[in-house]
Amino acid sequence: MTTAEIEIPAETFGIKDALKMLGVNVLNEGVSTGTGWIEGTGGIIESFSPADGKLIGKVKTASEKEYLQVVSAGKEAFKKWRSVPAPQRGEIVRQIGDELRKYKEPLGKLVSYEMGKSCQEGLGEVQEMIDICDFAVGLSRQLYGFTMHSERPRHRMYEQWHPLGIVGIISAFNFPVAVWSWNSMIALVCGDVCIWKPSSKTPLCALACQNIIAPVFKKNNVPEGVCSLLVGNPVGDMMNNDPNIPLISFTGSTRIGRIVAGSVAQRFGRSILELGGNNAIIVSEKADLNMVVMGAVFGAVGTAGQRCTSTRRLIIHESIYQKTLDVLRKAYAQLRIGNPLDAANHVGPLIDKKAVTDYLNAIEKAKAEGGNVIVEGKVFSGKGFESGCYVNPCIIEAKNNFEIVQEETFAPILYVMSYKNIDEAISIQNGVPQGLSSSIFTKDMQEMEKFLSAEGSDCGIANVNIGTSGAEIGGAFGGEKETGGGRESGSDSWKAYMRRQTNTINYGSDLPLAQGIKFDV
């Protein structure tokens, strides 16, 4: 994988100690096949913290040589891992969960420092990892198949599920560790092996995870190659085009998702695609405005608007439109923006300066299309904002058909608009290419049920009286339309990581054919 040369930052929020605890304060070999490291011979990527602009570390990336080595190790490991009873695989995942509990604080701080989300959100992301481990442990004893009645006498039919092989996981910067765990922990109990290609913007979080899980695998004599890590953007293309990897789970933009889907489909592979979101909250005249403010503000500014489930649009009933805007203005005026490791701050930085440029361009496009800025957007500078990545959460009055509103901008920009009746509100909500998360705030039972019915939200996630972000791991996560249609995490999403097999056993002494066909010889 890679070698990470770590320059310890001098700030005072415990990052130095966190890096030491996670094993990323010394040279790390950047390609891992599970319990050991091999040196990468690809190029070098640098990880800068958007919190203060400082260089955290340099990581040598994998070349094709290391990639082939890791895939070969994975193929060999799969032959052994698939034969380990699922409950035993679950026990190893349980131990991984215990290790994550030990390292929750330092890993959460590293997520916050390298990615830029608030420390509370960083800790919450690690908690998601712990939760999915717990879920996967239970799942390891629940990989059920159905038994069916056969039309032929003395025949038994049933279905069972077998592991696929190597699962390729390509994750994004905004959730640098959680999305990997959603996929890998379930894939592991299913009997698959995993290769993880993390975002090149947050490689150190991935190194830390590998350092946490490696001792668990080593203690349990798990073969090399069961859970591997490869850093470097070229790795993604190698994975997408590799027939040795039957499943690719990709999290990222719709634009790149189209390329991934095409490459994987070309070789008849499977893909789980978690792509863009353009999520809306409908605010009924029968809503509790205190609840609306909490859900909308956190949804719009949490992770600095860099969640795929971030609230992008607020669709407000015309009778309470101005009142809602007044309440939002007051709430936005109280937001504290600054170093994400400082618990007093609500909003951290965007991931990098390109994201800042995208934010500024989106605001200008909205203005050019006739948008009215309610809360100004700006970039902060000076002491405490040296990275140049801190921006002010912005609110813009807009129309749903604006070109910029139809797009997903990964930044804290909230577009507000009004509606006359629930049918119009649902039409506006559904009137974008994306279909990830949606929400309605109302006390009216008929509005709730209509929103959740086949006539309502067309998204993969539809909530009532909670916001668009903050999905729990117990439910399958994913969306429709240009969001990709994939599902990860809870519910029965484990089936995506396995292959279904239908079995028929004839325990009689005759050989009757199906459909009553006669074939005498």
Which neighbouring-strand residues pair with 4?
28, 59
User: What is d(CA 494, CA 90) in angstroms, rounded to the nearest whole number?
Assistant: 13
Rounded to an integer, what distance in angstroms lies between the CA atom of residue 42 and that of residue 58? Answer: 12
CA dihedral (127, 129, 130, 135) positive or negative: positive
Q: Which of 114, 274, 447, 488 is catalytic?
A: 274
Residue type, 232: G
Strand partners, 502: 159
Query: Kind and range of the H or E element at 182?
Result: helix 178-190
Residue 226, token pair as written in the block: 């069961």
Cβ within 8 Å of residue 85, ≥6 positions away: none
**Rounded-to-integer distance, Cα 11 and Cα 74, Å:** 40
Whose tokens are 């006539």? That residue is 455
308 in active site? yes
- For residue 334, the tally of other CB atoms under 10 A from its CB is 8
Q: Which of 119, 133, 308, 389 is catalytic?
A: 308
In angstroms, the CA 91 to CA 136 distance is 10
46 catalytic per annotation = no
Task: Give the C-alpha distances (Å, rounded to integers) separating 89 from 11, 80, 186, 302, 401.
Answer: 40, 12, 10, 35, 50
Strand order in the sheet with 147-149: 147-149, 155-163, 498-506
SS3 440: strand
Return phi, psi of residue 262, to 5°. Answer: -65, -45
**Do residues 4 and 207 lie in contact, with contact meaning Cβ atoms separated by under 8 Å?**
yes
Question: Which sequence positions are flagged as catalytic?
Answer: 274, 308
